[in-house]
Structure 1
Amino acid sequence: MTYRMRAAFVTALITAAGLGVSAAPASAKAPAAPCAPESTVHETLPNGTVWDLCWRMDERAGLILENVSVAYATNPEAVQVLQSIRLAQLNVPYDSGDTEYNDLTDYGFGGGDLETLKSEDCKGGSARTGSDGSAEPRRRKVLCVSAERSGLAYRLHSYDFPEGAEEPTETIYSKQGHDLVLRAISKVGWYEYVTEYRLQDDGAISARLGATGDLSPGNYYNADQGWPIGKGARDFSAMHYHSAFWRVDFNLAGKGKEIVEQYDTRTDGQGEMAAKLTTSHQTIAKEGSFTKANQRWWRLASPSSKNADRHRRSYELVTEGGDKYEGHPETQPDVTFTNGHACEMFATGNADPECPRRQTILDFTSNNEDLKDPIMWVRVGFHHVPRDEDQSPMPLHWQGFDLLPRDFTAQNPLTPDGRKDVNGQPR
């Protein structure tokens, strides 16, 4: 018996503390994204950063962002970052081995499973109306757009020595950051999932999947595979995995064909006070899957687009400690790089007839093609061991990753006037 039926009474309570967006400074302008006005997000954050993008809903993938570009008050010309970013699967196997779901390809985050937003779901923001992505689309309020405080962006207590001065000049630079937040909610069975993208005013992008709703009332096992959430040693709610995949297609400066590089740091002898560390990198030339190791990270660099310092623009993948589900080979790699093929849209359960025999990301790499214009597939896992506090509704828990700009601009795009001459080793 399946418990992916629509629950009758659960409503996720998701409150996004937001603030209004400010008018764009005259110096920071981004061109409108190439999509219909109702599918365009053009927002200026309080620090002057302008994000432009298109959004749409897909019946299975849910919220998709496309043609994402950014401009800054200090770098007013808009530069494209992403061609698209989307969820590519949510694999949910239960520890009993008797139950497993692929929520995107079996059910979908759009269409009938996409929730119509209520006022509490988009507090401080605006709920956008658009197609829900179903075969016979309905127009509803399905996307929350808000600008939210992100906390301290930087703080510097500076001691400067003007020429001829006997005492230093002290200045404190401090700035609060803000994020442009795009959020959609999907209800699959008893769970309610929050697809969220946070576009930060320093150019970073956070992709997150939140889970709330209710624990499945039909999945209770023993102490080895569940956690007691009823009175005493009874009612062992089932432990299970959430292996979430994202499909990321960069298009840095609209040029594409990014170069994938892997960086590794290792100890290399001893210095006067501590061990020496050496960082080396290699270019990933072929399609393939990769796993994290201590002090390992990846970046995608433009082969031709450079910042004002003549350094190649790039974005770095920053992943947190996601649990690895070892029951399937395709849920074990942390990141997979493939060439872009239109029929390769889902990391598992990819059933497009244009892609015969290409069901998973491992199939996508089986031809060992030269990597020419990479798609990055990111997996982040979470082993959900229920707790008493998950009843009810279940508090939101998150999994995801960050895309961090590396040399995208020559300086911090939020640099204050008093630090604009600091570029390279101070003389």
Structure 2
Amino acid sequence: MRVNSTTKARTRAAAGLTVAALAAGATAGAGPATAQPKAAPAAAAAADCSAAYRIEQKLSSGTTWRMCWRYDGKAGLVLEKISYQPKGEPKPIRVLNSARLGQIHVPYDDGNIEYDDLTGFDFAQGLMNLAPGECPGGTIKTVKVPDSWNEDPNVKGLCTTTRSRGHAYRMQGDTANKVFQAQGKDLLVYTVNQVGWYEYMTEWRFQDDGAITMNVGATGSLSWDDYDAGDGRGWPIGKGASAKSTSHSHNAFWRLDFALDGSTKNKVEQYDSTVSAPTRGQRAPTTKTTRTKVTRELAGDSKNYRWWRMVSATGKNKDGHARSYEIVPGPTTKYPGRSYTKHDLYVTQYNKCELFASHNPGNCGPGAGKSVDKWVNGQTLTHPVVWMNIGFHHIARDEDQQPMPVHWQGFSIAPRDVTAMNPLTPAELGRQNGHWRPRR
């Protein structure tokens, strides 16, 4: 059953549904934290919101991230007006209008039940209070949950902190006694939402090199009432082989509304490479890469030697190259059972009504449909919105009890030509841009 002592109210309001356990999915784990986020002068702020809803952090490497946050009654945490300012850039560079979860779809292998946790099982209502030890070195912000079912709608549930991620780079210099290296720093923003026996950790990681990683992790507990799976649909948990926990999938969707350099008129490009065997006179195989401009809505699939990028329509770096962000999918198990989970990436024309990848509430117009696949209908892209689908097939194991270790799923967007050089380049190497030559 998708119920425990802390979720009875949510279960009653969900029309008394009885469910087999959920185990959800995805992120890169939180590590050690350091300095607290700090406010900056209003004149320098790229995020246009009140101080209570502003996140701003200058990392030790010189990079500053700025954004606003709000809490949605279905999607949970929503980040808006996200900008990135590495050292050497005179002003913040806008990256995203908004970033949020688009759905967590959970179908069970036995075909008896499936859930849409954001729109159908009160994900947002399950925001959990965080203890100081869960946000080491950071700040826990109080979130007012819309239409809360609890007596007190205020939850200490949003952590903003920083952490180290290991080497940002390492390079041997011109002489054997010179090594250039730096340890990378990240701004970490996260919440925890309980749905039944499981707890989703929604993490946003903003790196000092300009990359953004978004993850969902699932932890908590396997449901005590979910051990009746037949052969081929479950895994024995506990002594013997009689109690088999039902296997299921976690299909996590994210919705990204880009606004590179402050403009929503971004362009989408797909790149595919083909490798051909050596011909006479060649020493090795050849590789050719082809660019396809995506001008209409897209239902896309990841494949070997394929990638996408979102390109700024207005901004260029100091080398005169158009700024862009590359989409970097994480490991995924694509679920073929529903039309909206059959593709890895969707690009749709912006529509303020299109907010959730499946069972979208509200009426988006005649014949619009309730899922993201129905919205890909040939419209010209003038304001593209990206939907990323990352799947995880959860086959339980003895180690999932008790409590269940966090399992993660997610993806990243990486800067491509946003700056003319590595934004963390040390001053001593600043001249080595393009086809440079060693000094004699």
For residues 407 and 37 of structure 2, what CA distance do their matches in structure 1 show? 31
The equivalent of 1:337 in structure 2 is 347
Q: Does 1:350 align with 2:360?
A: yes
Of 183, 187, 191 in structure 2, the residue corresponding to residue 184 of structure 1 is 191
Deviations 1:191-219 (CA, angstroms, capped at 9, x unpaired): 10000000000000000000001112222
Deviations 1:343-387 (CA, angstroms, capped at 9, x unpaired): 000000012124454201111112x11111100000000000111
Contact 1:22 1:46 in 2 (8 A): no
Query: CA 1:32/1:281 → structure 2, altered by over 3 Å: closer, same or farther?
Result: closer
Contact 2:46 2:81 in 1 (8 A): no
The equivalent of 1:203 in structure 2 is 210
For residues 394 and 133 of structure 2, what CA distance do their matches in structure 1 show? 26
Alignment of 1:48-59 (within 5 A): 48-59=62-73
Q: Does 1:17 align with 2:29?
A: no
The equivalent of 2:165 in structure 1 is 150
Contact 1:185 1:195 in 2 (8 A): yes
Q: Does 1:415 align with 2:422?
A: no
> What is the CA distance between 1:36 and its match in structure 2?
1.6
Query: CA 1:24/1:139 → structure 2, altered by over 3 Å: closer, same or farther?
Result: closer
> What is the CA distance between 1:171 and its match in structure 2?
2.2
For residues 89 and 100 of structure 1, what CA distance do their matches in structure 2 show? 13
**2:120 match: secondary structure:** helix
For residues 265 and 365 of structure 1, what CA distance do their matches in structure 2 show? 25
Q: Does 1:288 align with 2:303?
A: no
> What is the CA distance between 1:153 and its match in structure 2?
0.3
Of 143, 152, 159 in structure 2, the residue corresponding to residue 130 of structure 1 is 143
Farther off after superposition, 189-198 or 346-355: 346-355
For residues 195 and 355 of structure 1, what CA distance do their matches in structure 2 show? 31
Of 321, 324, 346 in structure 1, the residue corresponding to residue 334 of structure 2 is 324
Query: CA 1:322/1:7 → structure 2, altered by over 3 Å: closer, same or farther?
Result: farther
- Residue 90 of structure 1 aligns with an amino acid whose one-letter code is I
For residues 261 and 16 of structure 1, what CA distance do their matches in structure 2 show? 34
For residues 7 and 394 of structure 1, what CA distance do their matches in structure 2 show? 18
Deviations 1:244-277 (CA, angstroms, capped at 9, x unpaired): 0000001001012111000011113427332111
The equivalent of 1:403 in structure 2 is 413
For residues 257 and 376 of structure 1, what CA distance do their matches in structure 2 show? 13
- Residue 138 of structure 1 aligns with an amino acid whose one-letter code is P
For residues 135 and 394 of structure 1, what CA distance do their matches in structure 2 show? 27
**1:422 match: secondary structure:** coil
Contact 1:32 1:42 in 2 (8 A): no
**2:173 match: secondary structure:** strand
- Residue 390 of structure 1 aligns with an amino acid whose one-letter code is D
For residues 91 and 23 of structure 1, what CA distance do their matches in structure 2 show? 36
* Structure 1 residues not aligned, in runs of 5+: 160-167
> What is the CA distance between 1:285 and its match in structure 2?
1.0
**1:180 match: secondary structure:** strand
Query: CA 1:355/1:196 → structure 2, altered by over 3 Å: closer, same or farther?
Result: farther
> What is the CA distance between 1:304 and its match in structure 2?
2.0
> What is the CA distance between 1:391 and its match in structure 2?
0.3
For residues 400 and 15 of structure 1, what CA distance do their matches in structure 2 show? 14
The equivalent of 1:162 in structure 2 is none
Alignment of 1:10-409 (within 5 A): 16-21=31-36, 30-110=44-124, 112-134=125-147, 138-159=153-174, 170-220=177-227, 221-270=229-278, 272-356=282-366, 357-366=368-377, 368-409=378-419
Query: CA 1:388/1:169 → structure 2, altered by over 3 Å: closer, same or farther?
Result: closer
The equivalent of 1:4 in structure 2 is 2
- Residue 57 of structure 2 aligns with an amino acid whose one-letter code is E
Q: What is the TM-score when the length of structure 1 is the normalising length?
A: 0.91
For residues 377 and 57 of structure 1, what CA distance do their matches in structure 2 show? 20
For residues 68 and 338 of structure 2, what CA distance do their matches in structure 1 show? 34
For residues 419 and 30 of structure 1, what CA distance do their matches in structure 2 show? 28
For residues 412 and 248 of structure 2, what CA distance do their matches in structure 1 show? 24
Taking only aligned residues, the RMSD between alpha carbons, in angstroms, comes to 2.1
**1:217 match: secondary structure:** coil
Query: CA 1:30/1:317 → structure 2, altered by over 3 Å: closer, same or farther?
Result: farther
> What is the CA distance between 1:332 and its match in structure 2?
1.2
For residues 155 and 423 of structure 2, what CA distance do their matches in structure 1 show? 36
**2:411 match: secondary structure:** strand
The equivalent of 1:164 in structure 2 is none
For residues 234 and 7 of structure 1, what CA distance do their matches in structure 2 show? 27
Query: CA 1:22/1:227 → structure 2, altered by over 3 Å: closer, same or farther?
Result: closer
- Residue 359 of structure 1 aligns with an amino acid whose one-letter code is K
> What is the CA distance between 1:108 and its match in structure 2?
3.0
* Structure 2 residues not aligned, in runs of 5+: 8-28
> What is the CA distance between 1:30 and its match in structure 2?
4.5
> What is the CA distance between 1:49 and its match in structure 2?
0.7
For residues 168 and 102 of structure 2, what CA distance do their matches in structure 1 show? 31
Query: CA 1:315/1:224 → structure 2, altered by over 3 Å: closer, same or farther?
Result: same
For residues 411 and 227 of structure 1, what CA distance do their matches in structure 2 show? 50
> What is the CA distance between 1:224 and its match in structure 2?
0.8
- Residue 152 of structure 1 aligns with an amino acid whose one-letter code is H
Contact 2:141 2:159 in 1 (8 A): yes
The equivalent of 1:163 in structure 2 is none
For residues 234 and 274 of structure 1, what CA distance do their matches in structure 2 show? 56
Q: What is the TM-score when the length of structure 2 is the normalising length?
A: 0.89
Contact 2:158 2:189 in 1 (8 A): yes
Query: CA 1:88/1:102 → structure 2, altered by over 3 Å: closer, same or farther?
Result: same
